[in-house]
């Protein structure tokens, strides 16, 4: 008698979020099964891969990290275009220049850079502020206004600043990244607050990503639980796509800094783990890692 493996059906479905506009628009999420469970349901939109760009020349990068972008790291537009040439689905620009602990660049200058990048590349754009909750209000609201209608993915939106940033994003036609510090309860709490005034189909969850050996087991668990709660149990407050912002986290580890091959493997193993946990977007630094993840997603290895 032929054996047929039992198949599970699930109560929930991840919201489908569209980033970008017109020909640049890209869908993420929309699945009604767990990661890579093609045999049980529909995964309409494959996970997307982004490479990161800084709005100021990066400090402390190794020679091999800089090598793919030689002579263009002071030009965010050229850098972003190079990321797409290297195979990225989208670009993630980090507004590191606005960090109050660093250059503390003005918000309008950062917004001008984002506007130029958004208009000159042929892909959706993810925009991360410096991570300073207070300065990010000024910066991300200005970016939202300057790039009205571009449908950017803006973040991080955290409990300390979600109201003004989400209001600006909603008013100017953007999506947001809801970020919480590796805590499933805080993640849900922020989502519940956002959903009172912001549509769920324009929210992406960032549960924070840790590097291999530096708390990645927490990142994996939170990402996996988020997907389980949304898909298996149908909780609409947890049914948003997930972004794993891991490139910078991996790059700062002692092991990744030791040599080029180990750095690539450190980032790739972290990326693969979070992909299996349920990430819909991976933000990477190394083109070699991106190539490997693309092969995994396309089923070539």
* DSSP string for residues in the chain: ----------S--PPEEEES-GGG-EEEE--SSSTT-TTTS---S--EEEEEEESS--SS--HHHHGGGTTTTT-HHHHHHHHHHTT-SEEEEE-GGG-TTTT---HHHHHHHHHHHHHHSSS-EEEE--S-HHHHHHHHHHHHHHTTTS--EEEEE-TTTHHHHHHHHHHHT-EEEEE-SS-HHHHHHHHHHHHTTS-GGGEEEE-----TTTTHHHHHHHHHHHHIIIIIS--GGG-S-BEEE-HHHHHTSHHHHH-HHHHHHHHHHHHHHHHHHT-SEEEES-HHHHHHHHHHHTT--
Within a domain: 1: no
Domain holding 175, by residue range, is: 16-297
Give the separation between CA 232 and CA 44, rounded to whole angstroms. Answer: 17
Q: Has residue 155 been placed in a domain?
A: yes
- 301, pLDDT greater than 50: no
Backbone angles phi, psi at 207, to 5 degrees: -80, 5
Going by C-alpha positions, the residue among 36, 75, 15, 72 that lies closest to residue 204 is 15
pLDDT at 264 exceeding the cut of 60: yes
Assess if residue 11 is contained within a domain: no
Distances in Å between the alpha carbon of 134 and those of 3, 163, 169?
Answer: 59, 12, 16
Average pLDDT across the chain, whole number: 96
229-238 tens-digit pLDDT: 999 999 999 9
**What is the tens place of the pLDDT at every residue in 66-111?**
999 989 999 999 999 999 999 999 999 999 999 999 999 999 999 9
Are 294 and 49 in contact by the 8 Å Cβ rule? The answer is yes
With CA atoms as reference, report the closest residue to 114 among 106, 124, 99, 125: 125
Instruction: Supply the pLDDT for residue 6.
Output: 83
251 in a structural domain: yes
The confidence score (pLDDT) of residue 2 equals 86
Query: Is residue 278 assigned to a domain?
Result: yes
**Overall domain count for the chain:** 1
At 161-202, the pLDDT tens digits run 999 999 999 999 999 999 999 999 999 999 999 999 999 999
Residue 3 lies in a domain: no
- pLDDT over 90, % of the chain: 92
Which has the closest alpha carbon to 140: 103, 186, 94, 183? 94
pTM score, whole prediction: 0.96
pLDDT of residue 300: 60
Q: Is residue 44 part of a domain?
A: yes
- Is 8 domain-assigned? no
Among 297, 280, 3, 300, residue whose Cα is nearest residue 126: 280
Calculate the CA 47 to chain-centre distance. Answer: 11
- Alpha-carbon span 96 to 128, nearest angstrom: 9
The CATH number assigned to the domain holding 162 equals: 3.20.20.20
Question: What is the tens place of the pLDDT at every residue in 138-156?
Answer: 999 999 999 999 999 999 9
């Amino acid at each position: 008698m032929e054996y047929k493996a039992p198949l599970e059906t699930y109560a929930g479905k991840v919201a489908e979020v569209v980033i970008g506009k017109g020909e640049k628009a890209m869908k993420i999420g929309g699945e009604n099964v767990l990661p890579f469970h093609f045999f049980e349901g529909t995964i309409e939109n494959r996970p997307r891969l982004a490479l990161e760009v800084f709005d100021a020349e990066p400090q402390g990068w190794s020679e091999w990290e800089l090598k793919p972008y030689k002579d263009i790291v002071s030009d965010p537009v050229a850098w972003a275009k190079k990321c797409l040439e290297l195979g990225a689905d989208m670009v993630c620009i980090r507004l590191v220049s606005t960090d109050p602990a660093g250059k503390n660049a003005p918000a309008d200058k950062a917004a001008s850079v984002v506007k130029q990048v958004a208009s000159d590349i042929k892909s959706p754009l993810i925009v991360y502020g410096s991570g300073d909750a207070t300065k990010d209000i000024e910066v991300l609201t200005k970016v939202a206004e300057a790039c009205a209608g571009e449908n950017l993915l803006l973040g991080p939106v955290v409990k300390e600043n979600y109201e003004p940033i989400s209001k600006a994003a909603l008013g100017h036609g953007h999506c947001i990244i809801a970020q919480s510090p590796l805590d499933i309860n805080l993640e849900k709490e922020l989502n519940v607050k956002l959903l009172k005034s912001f549509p769920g189909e324009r929210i992406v969850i960032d549960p924070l990503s840790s590097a291999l050996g530096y708390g990645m087991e927490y990142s994996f668990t939170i990402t996996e639980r988020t997907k389980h709660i949304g898909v298996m149990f149908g909780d609409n407050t947890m049914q948003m796509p997930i972004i794993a912002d891991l490139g910078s986290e991996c790059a700062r580890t002692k092991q990744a800094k030791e040599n080029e091959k180990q750095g690539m493997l450190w980032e790739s193993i972290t990326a693969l783990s979070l992909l299996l946990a349920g990430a819909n977007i991976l933000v990477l630094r190394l083109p070699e890692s991106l190539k490997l993840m693309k092969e995994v997603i396309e089923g070539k290895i």
